[in-house]
Copies of this chain bind each other. A is one copy, B any other.
Amino acid sequence: MSFSAELKNCALPPHHTQDTLGAAFTELRALLGPENVEIVSTASLDDKSYYDPPKTHDPFHILGQDELVASAVLRPGSTEDVQAIVKLANKHRLPIWPTSIGRNFGYGGAAPRVRGSAVVDLGARMNKVLDLNEPNAFALIEPGVTFLGLYEEIQRRGMKLWVDSPDLGGGSVLGNTLDRGVGYTPYGDHFGTHCGMEVVLPNGEVVRTGMGALPDKNQPTGSANTWQLFPYGFGPFHDGIFTQSNYGIVTKMGVWLMPDPGGYQAFMISFQKDEDLHPAIEIIRPLRIAGILQNTPSIRSATLDLAVGGPRKDYSLTGKPLTSAEIDNAVAKSTTKIGRWSFYGALYGPEAVRDVFWAAIKGAFSKIPGATFHFPSDVPPEKSVLHIREGTLRGLPTFTELEWTNFVPNGSAFFFSPISPVSGDHADRQYKLAKDRCDEFGFDYIGTFTVGMRELHHIVCLVFDRTNEEEKKRAYKMLNLMVQDCADAGYGEYRTHLALMDQIAGTYNWNDNALMKLNETLKDALDPNGIMAPGKSGVWPQAYREVKKRVVSGTSKI
């Protein structure tokens, strides 16, 4: 297809004509080479998008194809390329949307917030492990390094270091950290275990944070050798403002790696009754804060584990969400020894230490009648979530977890993730809030509570038929209501799909939206032309603030 024909088929960003967009793309092609500037045809979106995701994970489908569509994909090969892209974006007022790998499917994948944005696909060519240090247990990576890639590089070098992978191992370590994702080993707080960034600012300048700002000509990076050892540096500590934000493009990041703890044992504790969630959470809180539960464990609904095991039709032929009796029945029939709720944790360290912790854990949970305790060796591996988690909880990148999207035909996944205190009452309230809405709207409640140091991430895993327009609209309507339900009850989401960013940002409105005013002040100072990821996390630059008003008022979708 000719360049002009391609231009006709692609999504125009705001304030642009085919001519102005074509001028921008022409300069970008000269900069990166034509092979690294791919114009995205809206006509072909249904068959393929540039990063070729499995259709089940297509992030566009919750809102339909007119939204969240890129005009082009740019593939920089270096920090200098990224700087040059940013400078051209300023010149042409072209909105750009950086993405690392774009595999956070439940939160929108690689899709941009503003239709017609040029996606900067950092992962395609910037995918090197720049440093990997065993004695000091860290890596320095580019955006395209996946959890699996990092894991494999460590194995190749025979180092006794672990990675900390989220549920799926194909995503970007850097991208997940910037979205403040979590994993399941003791290094589960990815922001808390990163160290040092290199960031291209919206004006094209490149900064290094922390000790990276201290030059050292004798180091391969040109920065002090403590760049990946001490996160804070001197003066204001900036890294946090480059997460879930649109203030810069992170091109390098340090990540701390956990040394092999010298022993490991995964376990599952199964609870027989739906009401056991409350006492289980009450038991979890003090064990977690005391570090007896050493990692980021999770307690999962039976529906989630059943969905990993097979489609809904294996458990019910009604075509409707499973009833409580059907869930009980399916749990009873399962060979995987799951309960109505199943708690997945692990012990780390030498056997003598693990024994002390296990005695405390088993003793505490034994107070719940009917609780059963399982190690992977006790459970048949087929369709066993415990066997998947056994890998995940020691940082092994896995790929089977998201099988639950096949629970319904043509299933697509959407995560809704409010934060609550670690208490039985709050877990019950969270569960009821989500379950009631799911019942009302005809969806299965599928969920998991991931236990941070002092909070629950309640991850509601919504699965819907992406080919059914009515069902998609229904799902979106339900999600809108759940955001408001949560805000009314004092719960806020920690992360979100693009489709809910404005609504959720709007709930963090204490003192007349003081935090958003701060966000906008920073945005306008750093990005006066508003070219970088406009709308990310609900933060809109000056040039788009009229657009924002229309979006938030519901009169426009962008």
Decide if A420 is an interface residue (CB 8 Å cutoff). yes
- Measured CB to CB, the nearest residue on chain B to A138 is B454
With contacts A238-B241, A519-B236, A539-B236 known, is A218 near B136, CB below 8 A? no
CB distance from A362 to the nearest CB of B (A): 15
A180 to B236, CA, bound (A): 10
In the complex, 21 of the A-B residue pairs with CB atoms within 8 angstroms, ordered by the A residue number, are A136-B454, A208-B511, A213-B515, A214-B492, A214-B508, A224-B491, A226-B420, A226-B421, A226-B492, A230-B452, A230-B494, A232-B494, A233-B492, A235-B539, A236-B245, A237-B243, A259-B286, A261-B291, A262-B290, A350-B356, A522-B522
CB distance from A107 to the nearest CB of B (A): 12
Q: Mark A469-503, 1 if CB is under 8 A from B, else 0.
A: 00000000000000000010011111110000000
**Which of A205, A209, A355, A518 has most chain B Cβ within 10 Å?**
A518
Q: Are A240 and B239 in contact (CB under 8 A)?
A: yes
CB distance from A166 to the nearest CB of B (A): 16
Knowing that A191-B232, A261-B290 touch, tell me 18 more A-B residue pairs with CB under 8 angstroms: A135-B423, A180-B237, A208-B515, A226-B455, A226-B490, A229-B419, A230-B452, A230-B454, A230-B494, A232-B494, A233-B508, A234-B493, A235-B244, A235-B508, A235-B515, A236-B245, A238-B518, A352-B353
This chain's copy number in the assembly = 2
A286 to B454, CA, bound (A): 28
Spell out A's residues near B (CB within 8 Å). 135-138, 180, 191-192, 195, 201, 205-209, 211-216, 218-219, 222-226, 228-230, 232-245, 247, 256, 259, 261-262, 285-286, 289-291, 349-350, 352-353, 355-356, 419-423, 452-455, 487, 490-496, 504-505, 507-511, 514-515, 517-519, 521-522, 524-526, 537-539
Q: Are A455 and B230 in contact (CB under 8 A)?
A: yes
- Measured CB to CB, the nearest residue on chain B to A504 is B234
CB distance from A348 to the nearest CB of B (A): 9
- Measured CB to CB, the nearest residue on chain B to A236 is B245
A192 to B526, CA, bound (A): 26
Q: Are B454 and A256 in contact (CB under 8 A)?
A: yes
With contacts A490-B218, A490-B225, A514-B207 known, is A234 near B537, CB below 8 A? yes
Which residues of the partner chain B approach A233 to less than 8 Å between Cβ atoms?
492, 494, 508
CB distance from A459 to the nearest CB of B (A): 14
- Measured CB to CB, the nearest residue on chain B to A420 is B226
Q: Are A289 and B238 in contact (CB under 8 A)?
A: no
CB distance from A248 to the nearest CB of B (A): 9
Which residues of the partner chain B approach A259 to less than 8 Å between Cβ atoms?
286, 289-290
A493 to B515, CA, bound (A): 31
Which residues of the partner chain B approach A517 to less than 8 Å between Cβ atoms?
205, 207
With contacts A225-B490, A454-B230 known, is A237 near B235, CB below 8 A? no
**Which of A208, A233, A505 has most chain B Cβ within 10 Å?**
A233
CB distance from A258 to the nearest CB of B (A): 9
A209 to B516, CA, bound (A): 11
A215 to B215, CA, bound (A): 43
A515 to B510, CA, bound (A): 31
Name the one of B215, B222, B353 contacting A353, with C-beta atoms under 8 angstroms: B353
Which residues of the partner chain B approach A492 to less than 8 Å between Cβ atoms?
211, 214, 224, 226, 233-234
Q: Are B509 and A213 in contact (CB under 8 A)?
A: yes
CB distance from A239 to the nearest CB of B (A): 6
Q: Are B238 and A240 in contact (CB under 8 A)?
A: yes
Which residues of the partner chain B approach A230 to less than 8 Å between Cβ atoms?
419, 452, 454-455, 494
CB distance from A219 to the nearest CB of B (A): 7
A59 to B538, CA, bound (A): 45
